[in-house]
Amino acid sequence: MPKPKDEFDTLYGYLLYDPQDILDDEYMYTVPEIARMLQGLDPTTELSEDTEDRLVQWTIPWIIQHEEKFVINDPRGDDPGYFGLHPDFVADEDEE
């Protein structure tokens, strides 16, 4: 059920990053690692299973929305897939 805004103590702007803003173009990342980075955390930060599950649920649509900006590897065995920046979306050093 909707609630009036004045029922909330704090309200924040909703900011979603571009993949180039958070990913290093030299690395590939799992979805949970990307989820942490979207929260401003180190990709190796330990999280509770519930917290990680929630962050991953928020991250998957973000990845899908930016699909053209990613490359993915062919997973090996039970290893997860890794995502990295597509070369077409990596800024040239001249542009930085």
Q: Please report, for the chain, the start and end positions of each structural domain, with discontinuous segments joined by +.
A: 29-90
Q: How confident is the model at residue 91 (pLDDT cuts 50, 70, 90)?
A: confident
Q: How far apart are CA 41 and CA 50, in angstroms?
A: 16
Q: How far apart are CA 7 and CA 33, in angstroms?
A: 34
User: pLDDT value at position 13?
Assistant: 82
Q: Is 75 exposed, middle or buried (0-12, 13-18, 19+ CB in 10 A)?
A: exposed
pLDDT tens track for 14-69: 777 899 999 999 999 999 999 999 999 999 999 999 999 999 999 999 999 999 99
Q: How confident is the model at residue 95 (pLDDT cuts 50, 70, 90)?
A: low
Q: Which residue has the higher pLDDT, 67 or 80?
A: 67
pTM of the model: 0.81
Q: What is the DSSP string of 73-96?
A: ----TTPPP-EEE-GGGSPPGGG-
CA nearest to 43, candidates 57, 53, 56, 30: 30
CA nearest to 30, candidates 1, 54, 69, 63: 63
Which residues, at least 6 apart from 11, have a Cβ–Cβ distance to it below 8 Å?
A: 5
User: pLDDT value at position 68?
Assistant: 96
